A and B are shown apart, each in its own frame.
Chain A
Amino acid sequence: MSFSDPLRLTATALSVLILLLAVVGPAITPHDPLVPDPMIRLAPPSAEHWLGTDHLGRDVFSRVLAGARLSVGLAVLVVLVSAAIGLVIGLIAGMGGRWVDAGLMRVTDAFFAFPELVAALAIAGVLGGGGTEVLFALAVVGWMRYARVVRGMTLATAAADHVALARLSGVGRFRIALDHLTPPVLPAMVVMMTAHVARAILAISGLGFLGFGASPPQPEWGVILLEARTYILSAPAYALLPGIPIVVSALAFNLAGDALRDRVGLAGAA
């Protein structure tokens, strides 16, 4: 990557800002994102309504701001849950000996066999759509990379002298995993998690757009675009502009992930 540092610095700062928006977004909307006003349906962008109004006359900018809670917040949750599952599976595979390792890695391969969107769509759809369902679906398809990396690093660390010493002096497996095997994998995991936030934001909005995300009227970026889709010919700005925060946040987290990776010095992760 031939990017100079200022760009990555900006991207990292932007990522932090986006995370912040997920927390305060719904509180700082200029208009109520849920209250319709039939008098101003599908208004084009103006000084009063920066991104115009939607088909019910709700302020689109306010809905995008409020939508950060679900789109970004849920993405962070997806990443945390996936990383936790991957860490546990990876540690067990790395410590469990040859057969446990081989078995768990085959299972990981089987989960990897499904294209992410296909599997997530099927799971979220069968469950019926909604925030929790999306979280579950994306965690099911998201943990494998962590498991593979953690397992690989654990195999290496577990063979090290200080770990062997701890084991011989009677330290339990759980303590060894926690004190000796987990800390070395954390930097790699943070790098992977940062890039994963970008993928999760894309996946969540994608599921929303396809009709299997959070349920309307709750604003979520993909769901906003799904509702806007019908009006693409009459109100193109409404159908298009709410997608910009998706691209910007995915870009920011991707670049922040690159910056972190170079900083930590990992070629293999993410």
Chain B
Amino acid sequence: MIAAALRRIAGALLVIVLASFLTFLLLQLAPGDAVMAIADARHGEAVALDEATLARIRQEIGVDDPFLVQWARWAFGLARLDFGVSLIDGRPVVDILAEGLGRTLELAIAAVAVAAILSIPLGLLAGVWRGTWFDSLSVALATLGSAMPNWWLGVLLIVVFSVNLGWLPAFGRGDWEHLVLPALTLGTGITVTTARILRSATIEALAARHIAAARGRGVGEARVIGRHALRNALLPVVTIFALEIAFVLEGAIAVEYVFGLRGLGLIFIEAVDARDYPVIQAFVLFTAVLFVCMNLVVDLLTLWLDPRTAEGMA
């Protein structure tokens, strides 16, 4: 089991190294001369033609070195948590991202809370009352939810709750009221997946042999569900919530954009818009590393809880 765990950790590390390589490769897609682009962004068109400035930038970002050397320099910087500086205003990338981290965390926690409140009853009861109208309704909602982009849901909520009813503010930030619609938008998206997984987990848990045994012993139905089935059904949900942290970050991009919340997601969009490559690369790699780590945690947790999986997933 230790060997299996170590193998998985090594695999995740390899994937992270390869992912950092891909992230660095992204820069090569940029059309035109990166040096010109930076000079442009920083000083405007006129200075872009100044040879001395161009030479300084060339030196600064080291474009004349071979590709692998550039990648290695960047990757070693990352390992020391040095993400470089913004091409636009020269501030450290870490500072720029740190600005949005708090707001995004706030949104993420609120969204996960919404998802937990909605999805746990929805998925659990759908599984318990399998085949009833409630089950059909929850499946229908899940199906509809997976076809609905969260940014459009955001627009829908603004139109209903801000424009028509006037209950909540549509944009900007401030007190908790500004967080309600974004959290609902982002949380509903996660609810869909969570409820679906919880539903099948409940069905599976209720079909287990010890449940039949408990029923056979004459244990009441409420107790069967509460004591025996719920515990098994919640296990996949814990893993799903861990995995969803990465999805929340992804979903936050569009939600922050719709509601004008300047968190990590909106900062990322601004960076892409301005072609601020170090910021783009840092954010892209950050989400990938988070994603891989969360997957690894779930893998190791599963391995620990159920050592039989050691052979299954390599």
Q: Which of A26-34, A102-110, A152-160 lies at the interface?
A: A102-110
Residues of B contacting A239 in the complex (Cβ-Cβ under 8 angstroms): 155, 159
Number of interface residues of B (CB under 8 A): 55
A232-B250 CB under 8 A given contacts A113-B291, A121-B268, A240-B155:
no
Q: Which parts of A219-237 form the interface with B (CB within 8 Å)?
A: 225, 229, 232-233, 236
Question: Closest CB-CB distance, B3 to chain A, in whole Å?
Answer: 18
Residues of B contacting A202 in the complex (Cβ-Cβ under 8 angstroms): 147, 149
Question: Closest CB-CB distance, B263 to chain A, in whole Å?
Answer: 14
Q: Give A111 to B250 CA distance when docked, in angstroms.
A: 16
Give A176-207 as 1s and 0s: 1 = Cβ < 8 Å from B's Cβ atoms. 00000000000000000000001000100110
Q: Give A47 to B152 CA distance when docked, in angstroms.
A: 25
A118 adjacent to B284 (CB under 8 Å): yes
B288 adjacent to A114 (CB under 8 Å): yes
A251 adjacent to B144 (CB under 8 Å): yes
Question: Closest CB-CB distance, A193 to chain B, in whole Å?
Answer: 17
Among B18, B26, B155, B253, the residue within 8 A (CB) of A210 is: B253
Q: Give A209 to B152 CA distance when docked, in angstroms.
A: 9
B273 adjacent to A117 (CB under 8 Å): no
Q: Give A255 to B139 CA distance when docked, in angstroms.
A: 12
B253 adjacent to A243 (CB under 8 Å): no
Question: Closest CB-CB distance, A254 to chain B, in whole Å?
Answer: 6
Q: Which parts of A240-257 form the interface with B (CB within 8 Å)?
A: 240, 243, 246-248, 250-251, 254-255
Residues of B contacting A121 in the complex (Cβ-Cβ under 8 angstroms): 253, 268-269, 272
Residues of A contacting B287 in the complex (Cβ-Cβ under 8 angstroms): 114-115, 118
A106-B14 CB under 8 A given contacts A114-B284, A254-B147:
yes
8 CB contacts below 8 A, A to B, read A3-B139, A3-B143, A113-B15, A114-B287, A126-B277, A239-B159, A247-B147, A254-B147
Residues of B contacting A243 in the complex (Cβ-Cβ under 8 angstroms): 149, 152, 155-156
- The yes or no answer to A100 lying at the interface (CB within 8 A) is no
A118 adjacent to B253 (CB under 8 Å): yes
Question: Closest CB-CB distance, B19 to chain A, in whole Å?
Answer: 4
Give B234-251 as 1s and 0s: 1 = Cβ < 8 Å from A's Cβ atoms. 000000000000110110
B149 adjacent to A113 (CB under 8 Å): no
Among A111, A114, A198, A236, the residue within 8 A (CB) of B163 is: A236
- The yes or no answer to A212 lying at the interface (CB within 8 A) is yes
Residues of B contacting A117 in the complex (Cβ-Cβ under 8 angstroms): 250, 253-254
B147 adjacent to A232 (CB under 8 Å): no
Report A's interface with B, CB cutoff 8 A: 1-3, 106-107, 109-111, 113-119, 121-123, 125-128, 198, 202, 205-206, 209-212, 225, 229, 232-233, 236, 239-240, 243, 246-248, 250-251, 254-255
- The yes or no answer to B59 lying at the interface (CB within 8 A) is no
Q: Give A247 to B146 CA distance when docked, in angstroms.
A: 9
- The yes or no answer to B257 lying at the interface (CB within 8 A) is yes
Residues of B contacting A2 in the complex (Cβ-Cβ under 8 angstroms): 131, 135-136, 139
Among A107, A126, A233, A254, the residue within 8 A (CB) of B280 is: A126
A110 adjacent to B19 (CB under 8 Å): yes
B269 adjacent to A111 (CB under 8 Å): no
Dominant secondary structure of chain A at its interface with chain B: helix
Give B288-311 as 1s and 0s: 1 = Cβ < 8 Å from A's Cβ atoms. 110110000000000000000000
Q: Give A205 to B150 CA distance when docked, in angstroms.
A: 11
Residues of A contacting B131 in the complex (Cβ-Cβ under 8 angstroms): 2
Residues of B contacting A233 in the complex (Cβ-Cβ under 8 angstroms): 162-163, 170
B30 adjacent to A126 (CB under 8 Å): yes
- The yes or no answer to B216 lying at the interface (CB within 8 A) is no
- Contacts across chains A and B counted by CB atoms under 8 Å: 144
Q: Give A115 to B251 CA distance when docked, in angstroms.
A: 10
Q: Which of A1, A107, A125, A248 has the most CB of B within 10 A?
A: A125
Residues of A contacting B292 in the complex (Cβ-Cβ under 8 angstroms): 113
Nearest to B32 among chain A residues (CB) is A128
Question: Closest CB-CB distance, B160 to chain A, in whole Å?
Answer: 9
Q: Which of B131, B268, B287 has the most CB of A within 10 A?
A: B287
A225 adjacent to B152 (CB under 8 Å): yes
Residues of B contacting A113 in the complex (Cβ-Cβ under 8 angstroms): 15-16, 18-19, 288-289, 291-292
Q: Give A211 to B266 CA distance when docked, in angstroms.
A: 12
A113-B289, A126-B27, A128-B31 given. 6 additional CB < 8 A pairs? A3-B139, A113-B291, A209-B152, A212-B272, A236-B159, A239-B155
Give B129-167 as 1s and 0s: 1 = Cβ < 8 Å from A's Cβ atoms. 001000110010001101111011001101100111000
Give B52-90 as 1s and 0s: 1 = Cβ < 8 Å from A's Cβ atoms. 000000000000000000000000000000000000000
Residues of B contacting A255 in the complex (Cβ-Cβ under 8 angstroms): 143
- The yes or no answer to B2 lying at the interface (CB within 8 A) is no
Q: 5 shortest A-B CB distances, which residue pairs?
A: A125-B272, A110-B18, A250-B147, A251-B147, A115-B250
Q: Give A254 to B140 CA distance when docked, in angstroms.
A: 12
Give B101-142 as 1s and 0s: 1 = Cβ < 8 Å from A's Cβ atoms. 000000000000000000000000000000100011001000
Among A123, A211, A236, the residue within 8 A (CB) of B26 is: A123
Nearest to A242 among chain B residues (CB) is B152
Residues of B contacting A248 in the complex (Cβ-Cβ under 8 angstroms): 147
B250 adjacent to A118 (CB under 8 Å): yes
A114 adjacent to B31 (CB under 8 Å): no
Question: Closest CB-CB distance, B249 to chain A, in whole Å?
Answer: 7
Question: Closest CB-CB distance, A145 to chain B, in whole Å?
Answer: 16
